Structure 1
Amino acid sequence: MANYQAPGVYVQEVPSGARSIGQVSTSIAGFVGVAPDPLAHLDEARVLDNWTQFVDQYVGKATQGTPLSNAVFGFFANGGGRCYVVNVGTGGSLTGTARKPTGLTLFEAIDDISMVAAPGYADADAYAALQAHVEHPLRQDRMAILDTVEKVDDVGALTRAATSGVPDAPGPEKPDAAKPDKPEKPEPATGATGEDAIGAPQSPGGYTALYFPWIVMTDPVSGKKVTQPPSGHLAGIWARVDGSRGVHKAPANEPIQGALDLVRRVSRGEQEVLNPAGVNCIRYFPGEGIRVWGARTKAPEASEYRYINVRRLTNMIKESVADGTRWVVFEPNDHTLWKSIRRDIGAFLTNVWRDGALLGTTPQQAFFVKCDEETNPPEVRDAGQVVTLIGIAPVKPAEFVIFKLMQSAEATSETESAGA
């Protein structure tokens, strides 16, 4: 206790006991691919905050871009603020080996990444690598944005998962005056069997999202028009919507900055085939331009994680709670601790609810936090564990807007009478 000697009033600062839980970032991307200079910073994860940094580190004397460089450019052009890049070099692997890790493996130790993409890789092996990365039981804190192949004759083939041996996007073609120059693409897989199945597999937890078709853009390295898989631009849109509306807002009905055209104009009938299978379409609308017109994950249609914003909101809450409650470790496992956990998580989720991310007119309707003797019986405490049960009611997007119109002769006549 303080030793007071003179009569008077003394004021002390006393900690409130409450510990604030802040929201983790949801807007940092990780890109894997082949850089314009394929030997630049090979097999090394580097953080970038703008396009100029990418040019300085990965372009060198190259005169033509690649899917990786175009994706990073599209990320920053559409609102992205920070990303990590791994250049795997020509013929490189998305994952590498235990002795020589590269690609996605280098992202495993970077906690702040919330979305990953491998622009230009769209075969079964690439899908499997990306899905395994985001669905790893010890991670599950990020989503993978997947690309399709460039040329698709039958959109129904995108609703069936590709198997090993199905080719990647076609290889580089020689430019001519009638069609845009093509950036260098990764080596396609061998053993092509046609377009019977070229889609991405289902992700039970909704950790992947697939977009179609490719876009036409100006290669910032060569200055020429090229076709480009859209994953980098979509990552930028996800980041943009996070900043302007919040992670709970579906990243759809948004314009794609830098997209000049689409490789294929998707019709409403084709989207009726693709949407239930979790293939998000990019469409052109007269007067509105090119817009993202889908917000689904590759989770089954009946899954509670079939929407991108629901999956990403859940990821954000999980990571925020995990980071904000680290102080709990090694504390006495008793009623005082349980009360503190309920207080801190409850305060955090109340803020999430106030931001409009959770459904309900009151916090009690939007979420619950249970940490008591029921969730922590003696056998749980003896095992050194403290268990907290959290339930949330995330807001889901209005994907289908339905107006019911009817005619009423009586109402019409009353309106006409009132206006006479």
Structure 2
Amino acid sequence: MPQNLKTPGIYIEEKNVFLGSVVEVATAIPAFIGYTEKASRNGKSLLNIPTRITSLAEYVELFGGAFNPLFKLETPYDGDRSKIIIGDTEFAIKYAEDNHLLFYNSIRLFYANGGGTCYIVSVGTYEVTGSLKIHKDQLLGKGLRSLEKEQEVTLVVIPEAVLLGKECYEVYKQVLIHCGEMQNRIGIFDLYDGYKSRVEEDDPIDFFRENIGTDFLSYAAAYYPWLHTTLVQKGEVSFRNLDPEIDLESILPEPNAKKLIMEFPKNEAEFRIAFQKEFPNISQIPEVTFNDFVNQKKVHLHFGLMATSPTYGSILEEIRCMVNLLPAAAALAGVYTMVDNNRGVWKSPANVSLNAVIKPAVEISPEGPENLNVHVSGKSINAIRTFPGVGTLVWGARTLDGNSLDWRYINVRRTIIMLEQSIKLALQSYVFEPNDANTWTTVKSMIVSFLTEKWKQGALAGSSPEDAFEVQIGLGATMTGLDILQGKMLVSVKLAIVRPAEFIVVTFQQQMQKS
């Protein structure tokens, strides 16, 4: 009723009948940290600024394209992962620099597997013709710290951490601490040397378990092995990817190819001489025009060699395979997004096929996941396997805390995060409200209504809402008189989260003939 009734008349009072509601927060918003070609929007730098994007086209507009790695040929072959035989000689194909970059292709892999909205944190840019040394401090410093103010992020992925070598596990430890303190996100990890098979003296699985630590393990999941993808097409690898020091004239056996290489300028001075011959009326060469001329010559040489030298084509194909070998974390971030959108965060992101993937880098036998999935250390590694007639599937659903009955499964951890954050945001409007029975009833009804809806959708286990969850609040239930005097309103929520049918056992036995 209106308080000040001093003038005769008719007064209208509106009352709220419906309770406040809990709105489900976003569940699959990954943040990718790494190195990009550029980082600017309208002339303003985006370095170390979490930037929300919704498509690969938006990424290219703000952060540019792929890094252009250089490769070298070495002989004798030393058992490296890629080789090519030219004549009677075995050459190892290696990256010309200590590190290469794979951030752009990882983003492509994310969108190929169902990715959507995400955050990009560029910690540095690279030159188109140069290389870049990855720094742990850049990834962890402003890169990871910049995510502390972004509440929407639910996944943290650092695809290029594996390029740090053994130092990548120092990065992962910091990500675990970050996720554990934020309590609203998890990390997705790759294994250093995850493209290698398991051997007793050099096992990437054991090395991971020995170096990942023991803190906040339920806030991350790891996947093995890396993936052979189809992202980089034939037209994306060319003469520009070969180290200038490679003597193709002596390596390629085809005479026509040797002739093309002999006619190709060897340095900038020769390029300028060739430019003057082709354009004799230009006295001063504009730098932009000259650069276009150099690139055009390289394109012509590439197509000429492709037409005359099968060996050259084989070298580029091996390089393309190397560039297409990527860690799996970005693909899994896309899988998480796709599963959340189609089924819900309570569905395990497993038994799902991977797109733009030829096969895993290491073939895992049916018995192989036993040591990955269940281990005395509890640090479960999720396998990626190929099944005949089916394709490449994600074959694991566990966090790194595999020995915990509470937090063993990824979907349990992520569902709890979603429920916690949704209820937390809804309760912010009740801070400083009277700590009395009216407020308690309102809060309880709001939470019960939200959890009932989640139960109907399949997030909670039980034949009825009473079996699926329990919400308690009130004096004598969750609070004492002292709690109320201290301004505390305590709410207790018990949940029965659905867990995956990880092991399905079908029993067969014979019975006596009955007729």
Q: TM-score range by the shorter chain?
A: 0.7 to 0.9
Work out whether 1:383 is the aligned partner of 2:486.
yes
Residue pair 1:94, 1:104 contacting (<8 A) in 2 also: no
Q: CA deviation at 1:57?
A: 2.2
Larger Rg: 2
Once residues 379 and 155 of structure 1 are traced to their aligned partners in structure 2, the CA distance between those partners, rounded to angstroms, is: 61
Alignment of 1:162-311 (within 5 A): 162=208, 200-204=212-216, 206-220=218-232, 222=236, 224-225=320-321, 226-276=324-374, 277-311=379-413
Change (3 A) 1:29 1:371: same
Deviation at 1:161, TM superposition (A): 5.7
In structure 2, distance between residues paired with 1:258 and 1:219: 6
**Structure 1 residue 71: deviation in Å?**
1.8
Alignment partner for residue 178 of structure 2, among 121, 133, 136? 133
For the pair 1:27 / 2:28, whether they are aligned, the reply is: yes
1:107 equivalent in structure 2: 147
RMSD of the TM alignment (CA)? 2.7
In 2, Cα distance between equivalents of 1:63 and 1:50: 22
Structure 1 residues 11 and 380: CA distance shift in structure 2, 3 A: closer
Give 1:343 deviation, angstroms.
Answer: 0.7
Residue identity in the other structure for 2:104: S
Quote the sequence identity (%): 30
Q: Which residue of 2 aligns with 1:54?
A: 59
Contact 2:109 2:231 in 1 (8 A): no
Give the aligned partner of residue 345 of structure 1: 447
Partner of 2:258: none
Inter-partner Cα distance in structure 2 for 1:249 and 1:296: 12
Question: The residue matched to 2:188 in structure 1 has which SS?
Answer: strand
| 2: CA distance, partners of 1:378 / 1:104 | 42
Give runs of aligned pairs for residues 356-367 of structure 1, distance below 5 A.
Answer: 356-367=458-469
Aligned with 1:268: secondary structure? coil
CA contact 1:201–1:298 (8 Å) conserved in 2: no
Report if aligned partners of 1:86, 1:102 keep a CA contact under 8 Å in 2: no
| Deviation sequence 1:195-248 (CA, Å, 0-9, x none) | xx6663445561000000000113458364410001011001001000111000
Deviation at 1:309, TM superposition (A): 0.1
What CA deviation, in whole Å up to 9, does each residue of 1:19-75 have, x standing for no partner? Answer: 110100001110011224599843232111101111222225854693221221122
Structure 1-normalised TM-score?
0.81
Aligned residue for 1:42? 47
**Does 2:499 correspond to 1:396?**
yes
> What is the match of residue 245 of structure 2?
none
**Secondary structure, in 3 states, of the residue corresponding to 2:367?**
helix
Letter in 1 for 2:334: G
Q: Which of residues 88, 105, 124 in structure 1 aligns to 2:169?
A: 124
Task: Report 1:319-358 matches (<5 A).
Answer: 319-358=421-460
| Distance in 2 of aligned mates of 1:410 and 1:4 | 94
Secondary structure, counterpart of 2:160 in structure 1: coil
CA distance in 2, matches of 1:239, 1:38: 25
Q: Would the aligned equivalents of 2:402 and 2:409 in 1 still touch at CA under 8 Å?
A: no
What does the per-residue CA deviation read over 1:255-289, in whole Å, with 9 as the maximum and x for residues that have no partner? 11111221101112221111114100000000100
By how many angstroms is 1:80 displaced?
1.6
Relative to structure 1, the CA distance from residue 283 to residue 259 in structure 2 (aligned partners, 3 Å threshold; closer, same or farther) is: same
> Does 1:154 pair with 2:154?
no
CA distance, structure 1, for counterparts of residue 66 and residue 226 of structure 2: 27
Contact between 1:146 and 1:208, CA under 8 Å: does it hold in 2?
yes
Q: Decide whether the 8 Å contact of 2:176 with 2:216 is kept in 1.
A: no
| Secondary structure class of the residue paired with 2:36 | coil
Hey, what's the Cα distance between the residues in 2 that align with 1:209 and 1:389? Answer: 28
SS at match of 2:432: coil
Once the 2 structures are TM-superposed, how far is the Cα of residue 356 of structure 1 from its aligned partner? 0.6
1:73-100 residue CA offsets vs partner (Å, 9 max, x unmatched): 1221211211111122344555659xx9
| Structure-2 separation of matches of 1:367 and 1:15 | 27
The amino acid across from 1:121 in the alignment is A
- What CA distance in whole angstroms lies between the structure 1 residues aligned with 2:134 and 2:47? 10
Q: Is residue 114–residue 337 contact of structure 2 (8 Å, CA) maintained in 1?
A: yes
Tell me the secondary structure at the aligned position of residue 255 of structure 1.
Answer: coil
Q: Aligned residue pairs: how many?
A: 371
Instruction: Output the CA distance in 1 between the equivalents of 2:494 and 2:66.
Output: 54
CA contact (8 A) 2:339 2:349 kept: yes
> Is the Cα–Cα contact under 8 Å of residues 211 and 230 in structure 1 kept in the other structure?
yes
